[in-house]
Each structure stands twice: as structure tokens, then as C-alpha cells.
Amino acid sequence: MLVVSSMKEPKRVAAFVDGAVIAFVVGSVALALGEATQQLRALVEERPLASLGLAIASGLGAVLSNRIVRGDRWQAVAASIAFGVAVPAIVSVVIALPVAPIAIVYSMAAWPITVPAAFAWMVLLRLQARHNSHGSNARRALAVALAAALLFVGFTQPVMTTSAAGAHCIAFPGERTRALAWSPDADWLGLASSQDDGQGVVRVVERTTGRVIELDRGMQVDLLSGIAVGPGGVTTYLVDDEPGSTNSTGPSIWQASPDLPRRRVLTLPTPALFDLTWTPLGVAAVQRYDVVEGEVHRLVWLRASSTPGESLERVDAATIARYPVLSLAALPDLSTELTIQVGTERRRVPLPTDALVNATVTDDGRYLVFHVRKVSTDGGRVLYDQVVAQATGTGERVVLADEAGWEPHLSAGHVAYLTFPSDKANSACFANAPTQ
């Protein structure tokens, strides 16, 4: 009797260890799959929560392992369901004290990830036991190392997905994408995003290949100003060094491209510049307040100057009239109408009152592009949630993307937009447009 008991004890220990290892490996795969799925990414994007969930899953997997191995089929199924439900509930309790009961209710949102993972854990653990193949320490270590590598890749590399409307989407783990801009030929999509630690990151994506190139990152990279992208992916952005910091130069305009390293173009008298906009004549921006002129809203050129910090050159009215994108940027706040020139025709275009965010205009002035949503009269149903292009000549609308899209831009027959910018798991999406 003592001999039998002593023989079973190593098996229990092996099952205990295998339960924890398999739970960690399966959990890592589940997180990676959730990261690659647009609908589930928000549930796994928080790295501290994902780490806590893996730790709890590994511990609970060890505790339940012998019940899975020694119990019958239905006991194992019941235990795995309880496992899949318990992991997000325990995570919710840990992070939400003292309002744990409410958090437990919301933990159900994680069941599409945790319950299938628990079933996979149960099947693998029972297969191990059935074939008496409890892993050696070397195999366990290898499995954990591979799972950790998968987690590292999943939490550091860009994630490519396809949206419900068929658009190509890209997200960066641990970041919120705040702004985007097309190059005039739509070969390059510029993206500006913020990380948890406050760093700003500027990248470009090559549309035809999906290649991602990081141009700059740092605490001083300013995302509020937006970015402007020219031919060849040359990207213009603002850097705002804190006064007194090492090598501080104050606010300045920088440029970088896939072929050229970053360089400072212009030292600014103020960081209060917004809506960076590319034109064939150069990059312009809205200066919110000019101390010299006493103006609250003026359009200025961001051009290299021999005198650092000198007043920015104002964009004249004739130039604004020739370039529709400048006409929109030059509009004062609370404007209701846009005047643009399309060829030889001068158009007065009412700004859409149902746009959820500010509209953008195509380089040729033919379309206003914006996000529009309509709900039922009782507020219970969303009737449509779309990115549309409205012709400035006729007012006719064309649906560019049958899904929500913020900061939409249309260039050279391609549309780009962001999923909800406040969502940490948001994406930048782009697709062919039916209008041009």
C-alpha cells in the first residue's frame, strides 16, 4: 500500500506541474489569437491584466490538474468550464476591489477567450496523462520559453487584421493611434501614436506591402499637432522639448522619411500649431495664437528659416483659395460653410451638420470626407455608422466604409481612418475607395 502511494505521488506532482505549464502555454496562445482579432483585442491589450491573468491561470491550472487527470470525462469538462469562468472573475476581483461584484459581471466579456482556452488546456492535460507522457523538465522549459516568446512578439509587433468592412487594419500593442495622413499618391500612410509611458511615435506604412517603418519616438514627440506626409513618405511633425532639459531647443518642426533620418527643419516661437497639412508648396499649419499679430487663428508656412524662432510666414489668401485642403484648415472655429476653388469653379459648400467629427477635404476639393452615424428614434438601434464622401458640387454621398471611422482621409482613390481613438486597442484602417 505504501509502495503504491509512493508511486502515485510523483504522478500527482507531475500533473501539478504540467497543469501549470499547459495553462501558461495555452493562455499565451489565447492572448496572441485575441490580439490578432479586432473584436477581442481590447480584452487582452492591457499588459498588466494579461500578465495577471496568465499568473492566475497557471496557478489555478496546477490546482485543478489532478481533478482533470483523475476525474471522468464529465467531471473534467465541468472543471474546465469552471476554470475558464473563474480566471477572468478572479482577475476582476483583484483589480476592482472594493467593487468586485460589478467587475465580476463585466468579466463575462472575456469568456470567448478563456472558456475555449480552458477546454484546450483540459484536452492537452488528459492526453498527457492517458499516454503517461508527463513532460520532462527540459520539455516544460522549452514550452514555457516558446510561449514567452509568443507573448513578446504579440505584445511588441504590429498586428494586422481585416475589419468587418474588409479594410486592412494595423494596430500597435500598448499604443493609441491618434492621427494619420496620406501621402498625395497614397503610397504611404503616416501614423502618430502614443504609448503608455507618454512617448509619441511617428511611423509610415507602405500601402502596397504593409511594411511599417518607425521614423521617430520620444517623450517630446507632439501628437496634438498631427502629421503631414509628402511624396516618398517624407513626414513632418512637431517636437516640443521641455525648457531646461538636456540639449533642449524648444518647440521645433522635424522631418523624416523611409530613406532619410530625422532632421530639424525649423525652430518655432510656439508649440501652439495644429492641423499640419502638406501641399505642393510646402507644409502649412494652423497657429492658434500669434503674439506679434494678435490673431487667434492664422494659417502659416512651416519653412526653414535662417533666423531661429522668427515669426512664421503667413499663408496668403490667394494661395489658400488655390488649395482646398488649406481652405478647410484656414476656416475659423464654428464656421458653417467652406469656400473652395475646384478648377475654375468657386464653390460654397455647407459643412455637414451630421458629421460626428470634423470633416476633411480631398486635395482636389471634390469631396468632403467624414464619419456619420444615425440611431433609431428610441435610441435603441444604430441605423448606420459609416465613413462617407460628400461631393462638394452636388452634395451626393458615397459610402467609403460601412463602419465607424474617425479622422477619415481620402487620397488617390484610397481611404484611411481610425477606429475609436480613445480605445487603447484602436487601429488605423485603409482600403480602396469607390469614389475616385
Give pLDDT tens digits for 221-266.
Answer: 999 899 999 999 999 999 997 655 556 678 999 999 999 999 999 8
C-alpha cell at 312: 512664421
64 and 211 housed in the same domain: no
- Contact partners, residue 351, CB within 8 Å, separation at least 6: 335, 336, 337, 338, 359, 368
Do both 177 and 210 map to the same domain?
Answer: yes
Closest CA to 91 of 106, 79, 78: 106
Contact 150, 32 (CB under 8 A): yes
Instruction: Give the per-residue pLDDT at 389.
Output: 95
> What per-residue confidence (pLDDT) applies to 6?
43
Domain boundary among the residues 121, 140, 157 is at 157
Residues 79 and 125 reside in one and the same domain: yes
Query: In the listed set 109, 139, 157, which residue is the last one of a domain according to the structure?
Result: 157
User: Helix, strand, or coil here: 160?
Assistant: strand
Are 171 and 258 in the same domain? Answer: yes
Q: Do 234 and 283 touch, CB atoms closer than 8 A?
A: no
Give the list of residues 6+ apart from residue 180 with CB closer than 8 angstroms, or none: 189, 190, 191, 192, 227, 407, 409, 416, 417, 418, 428
CATH code of residue 215:
2.120.10
CA distance 274 to 166: 32
| For residue 88, cis peptide bond before it (omega within 30 degrees of 0) | no
Nearest to 237 by CA among 205, 211, 273: 273
Q: Which residues of the chain have pLDDT under 50?
A: 1-7
pLDDT for 52: 81
Residues 130, 206 within the same domain: no
| Cβ-Cβ contacts under 8 Å for 229 (sequence gap 6 or more) | 181, 182, 183, 188, 189, 190, 204, 235, 236, 278
Q: Residue 49: what pLDDT?
A: 74
Q: What is the pLDDT of residues 86-117, one digit of tens each?
A: 888 888 777 766 655 666 777 787 888 888 88
Number of domains in the chain: 2
Is residue 99 located within the same domain as residue 184? Answer: no
The pLDDT of residue 59 is 86
Residue 172 shares a structural domain with residue 286: yes
Question: 188 and 319, same structural domain?
Answer: yes
Q: Are residues 106 and 242 in the same domain?
A: no
Same domain? For 305 and 268 the reply is yes
pLDDT for position 43: 58
Structural domain containing residue 294: 160-432
pLDDT number for residue 55: 85
177 and 219 belong to one structural domain: yes
Beta strands in 91-211 (DSSP E): 159-162, 168-171, 175-182, 188-195, 200-206
Answer with the one of 157, 177, 194 that is the final residue of a domain.
157
- List C-alpha distances in Å: 347 to 326, 344, 350, 401: 14, 10, 10, 26
Quote the cell numbers at residue 31.
492572448
Q: Are residues 67 and 204 in the same domain?
A: no
